Structure 1
Amino acid sequence: MKTKLIWLNVIILCTLLLSCKEDEVRAPYGCDDQTPPQDISEVVIKSISGGAVIKYQVPDDSDLSYVKALFQTKKGETREVRSSKYVDSLKIEGIGDTDEHEVTVYAVDRSENVSKGIKIAFVPNTPPVVNIRESLRAIVDWGGFSLDFKNEGKDAISVMVYYENTETEGQRLYDVYYTEQKEGPLAIRGLSPLPSKFVVKVKDRWENESEPYEFELTPLEEELLDATQFKEMFIPGDVRWTFFGGQWSCFFNDNYGSMDFAHTDYPQAFPHPTTIDMGATVMLSRMKIWQRLVQDDFYKHGCPRHFEIYGCPEGLDPFREENYELLMDGHLEKPSGGEFTDPNTAEDILVAQQGHEFLFDNELMKPIRYVRFVSLSSWSGMECSRIAEMKFWGQYIK
């Protein structure tokens, strides 16, 4: 009996081995036919910045899977764009010139059979990197310069900044800034107050690069103001920032922990002012505000959205509100332009982590000793304000 069982197992094993065949795991699913689909029809092409949108009628083929377009870049690279059979168009993007280009569009079925294809010629409109380059304007500022630009399509770009001065040995890459903002300014900071030559280039995600934007300027000298000299001035109208474990000192303690912040009472009707004795007479150049550093909490709850900054010079009574002049009308916004209910983009999160920067108008600035920060509204509409950290830059006036 034991011998019979052994032979039975051997027969079964041989049968299985003979019946097995190698599976092609990469083979497409569906009918294994050899008949290609018909081509697309009723084609209409519209040029856009750096590409084109091709509209068409898909073939009446139940086995159709998708439509694809193949084209070559100026560098000789072949690119492919695909579109579902349920969509009547596809978009060609990333062309860095305005020359005539040819694209071939194919219909593809579930067995990867490809139609004969139709060739279409088009001339793209001016590429985004060229439009953005033409909009660049550098304005001298504290510790560097402000770079104005227009990015109407909110394209993902990188801005490369090169510089050269007596401290460098030839031209150096200073930094690369990534943004999808619709417009500037972009703040370039941390530079020495030396006469310098700058070169700025714009690049998109397809490696198209603009012509250089070249200029010379001398950044204004600035420094991070010493927060250990700051003191709270509780003048009439100010509110306390000690709710929910918050402390006024958390404004300036270099601690960005999730539970380290200044927080007004809740509910507390707006406005929410607080007044700072800077400890010396200063000229302000810029400031930064950090939200509570918890991603799920960015641009929510008590994060200030609209605020004002006022200044009072030394020699005037800092306890009288009429002695304060408006220095800034500030709006803390998402770089993406999104609203409270919109998901945060990667750039929204990065800027929140790095701190939101605000520039003071040089024409409005004068020597001051006392600064009044007034929160006017929060991102969520909640009647409270919460800030993790605040920093000021400028010059000490001796």
Structure 2
Amino acid sequence: MERIYNTLVLILTFGLSTLSCSEEKFGPILGGGGTPGPVREVRVENLAGGAKISYALPNDENLLYVKAVYSLKGVEVESKASYLTNHLILEGFGDENEREVALYAVSRSEKESSPTTVTIKPLPAPVFSVLQSLDVQETFGGIVVNFENPSAASGSVNSNVVIGTLRWDEELKEWESIDTYYSGLTKDQFAVRGLESVPIRFGIFVKDRWDNHTDTLETELTPIYEEEIAKDRWRDVRGLYPVPQVGALPVSGNPMVEAVDYSGAYPIVRMWDGNVGNFFHTKAGFELPIWVPFDLGESIKLSRYKIWQRSVAGGYFSHGNPHEWEIWGTNTPEDPNSWVMIAHEIMVKPSGLPVGQNSADDRAVAAAGQEYDFALDAPPVRYLAWKQIDNWASIQGEFGFMHVNELSLWGQRN
């Protein structure tokens, strides 16, 4: 028995020493199989900024993928597609020039077929259609830009665009960047704020992830004057005036009620104390919607507002943070029929993730405060009421509550 054991030890020792002394070689896991045949029956569908190339695969059980080799911005690049599909999509072209693409079928042992060459001629890249759709108008404190991006309907992040806004510096005789906006929507809008009410020469351009960019659209506009409204004269007026029964009402048919504070630690004045780190919190279990009126101390033509959510255990976009709401205004709160709706919003989470799941963009947007416009034809008002239709914990629910860290307003004093 001992002789057998010693013999095995010698064999193992010899085997290990042989392996350790041999030269290490790296290569494809599978070395067998021949060179695959080329792809055939190739069809080209030119797309905005790219092309879809369809083909029939060679009949080869060792086929792993199909590779396209082509030039992009003067650099040779490759795109690959698994043997489980029959097409490749090439993207990132910034011009409509014809170019050749070589297709190779590649086996599991990395053996390439002979090339099949096709010619593509990309359609204008998405950035150019976005530029053509730009509609730039003056607004309170700046400009508002509307645009369309039909290519974004594909849902691919490669259709996302970046829109840069420039301002001409007359003294330095050069453009300076004042805003950058990212979008992956088919139809979108953004505003550039905080500008003086003087004629300004603006430049707007569009680019994509491959740094394809358009020429600069130039226009001169004068932002409409606005100022941030001081909060030192705001006060709570709950319980002083009748609650108007207007717009969306409780599904039970019961009258709408005013929301009262959850406790002395979270009073309504925290909604306008200038501290975005604390919050106003109503009691829970109200029939929705609920009414939260307050007095601005003077009649103001309001232009826009910003709210800051409370970050609770589930993060932003959760709990009692507003999901859908209306803002109503009046100068005669004693008359319940005098209130008019001057804003209506449904908050959209940038990522579209379910409640309780937030992306980095979601957290950044909420932490910075979310901005909304009042209706352009809204009359000057002194009294406002936040009408909470639902919250993120009770979307389209019958019962709920509200909390918000801070509310800021902009507009024109009369």
- Give the TM-score category using the shorter length: 0.7 to 0.9
Please state how far the C-alpha of 1:233 moved relative to its aligned partner: 1.5
Match of 2:349 among 329, 334, 352: 334
The residue that corresponds to 2:293 in the other structure is: 275
The question of 1:115 aligning with 2:110 is answered no
SS of 1:130 mapped into structure 2: helix
The residue that corresponds to 2:229 in the other structure is: 225
Q: Which residue identity lines up with residue 104 of structure 1 in the other structure?
A: A
Please state how far the C-alpha of 1:296 moved relative to its aligned partner: 4.5
Q: Does the 8 Å contact 2:312/2:319 carry over to 1?
A: no
Aligned CA distance change for structure 1 residues 65 and 79 (closer, same or farther; 3 Å):
same
Structure 1 unmatched runs, 5+: 1-7
The question of 1:289 aligning with 2:307 is answered yes
The residue that corresponds to 2:150 in the other structure is: 152
Q: Which residue identity lines up with residue 348 of structure 2 in the other structure?
A: E
Q: Which residue identity lines up with residue 120 of structure 1 in the other structure?
A: V
Q: TM-score, normalised by structure 1?
A: 0.85
Aligned CA distance change for structure 1 residues 166 and 241 (closer, same or farther; 3 Å):
farther
The residue that corresponds to 1:242 in the other structure is: 261
The C-alpha deviation readout for 1:212-232, integer Å capped at 9, x for no partner, is: 111001112222212233211
- Quick one: distance in 2 between partners of 1:162 and 1:295? 40
The question of 1:81 aligning with 2:66 is answered no
Please state how far the C-alpha of 1:111 moved relative to its aligned partner: 2.1
- Quick one: distance in 2 between partners of 1:138 and 1:178? 16
Please state how far the C-alpha of 1:249 moved relative to its aligned partner: 2.5
Give the % identical residues: 31
- Quick one: distance in 1 between partners of 2:353 and 2:335? 37
Aligned CA distance change for structure 1 residues 190 and 28 (closer, same or farther; 3 Å):
farther
- Quick one: distance in 1 between partners of 2:338 and 2:412? 22
The residue that corresponds to 1:28 in the other structure is: 28
Aligned CA distance change for structure 1 residues 97 and 191 (closer, same or farther; 3 Å):
same
Moved more, 233-242 or 281-290: 233-242
| Alpha-carbon RMSD | 3.0
The question of 1:396 aligning with 2:413 is answered yes
Structure 2 unmatched runs, 5+: 1-8, 153-158, 244-256
The question of 1:352 aligning with 2:366 is answered yes
SS of 1:68 mapped into structure 2: strand
Q: Does the 8 Å contact 1:36/1:115 carry over to 2?
A: yes
Match of 1:377 among 381, 390, 405: 390
Q: Which residue identity lines up with residue 150 of structure 1 in the other structure?
A: E
- Quick one: distance in 2 between partners of 1:241 and 1:134? 50
Q: Which aligned runs of 4 or more in structure 1 are off by greater than 4 angstroms?
A: 12-15, 165-169, 339-349
Aligned CA distance change for structure 1 residues 77 and 85 (closer, same or farther; 3 Å):
same
Please state how far the C-alpha of 1:59 moved relative to its aligned partner: 2.5
Match of 2:339 among 324, 327, 332: 324
Please state how far the C-alpha of 1:355 moved relative to its aligned partner: 2.4
The C-alpha deviation readout for 1:266-295, integer Å capped at 9, x for no partner, is: 321111221121122222110112222369
Q: Does the 8 Å contact 1:264/1:272 carry over to 2?
A: no
Aligned CA distance change for structure 1 residues 60 and 350 (closer, same or farther; 3 Å):
farther
Q: Does the 8 Å contact 1:66/1:82 carry over to 2?
A: yes
Please state how far the C-alpha of 1:361 moved relative to its aligned partner: 2.7
Please state how far the C-alpha of 1:203 moved relative to its aligned partner: 0.6
How many pairs does the alignment contain?
Answer: 380
Please state how far the C-alpha of 1:343 moved relative to its aligned partner: 6.2
Please state how far the C-alpha of 1:342 moved relative to its aligned partner: 10
The residue that corresponds to 1:177 in the other structure is: 181
Please state how far the C-alpha of 1:19 moved relative to its aligned partner: 4.3
Q: Which residue identity lines up with residue 66 of structure 1 in the other structure?
A: Y
Match of 1:162 among 146, 159, 166: 166
Q: Which residue identity lines up with residue 83 of structure 1 in the other structure?
A: A
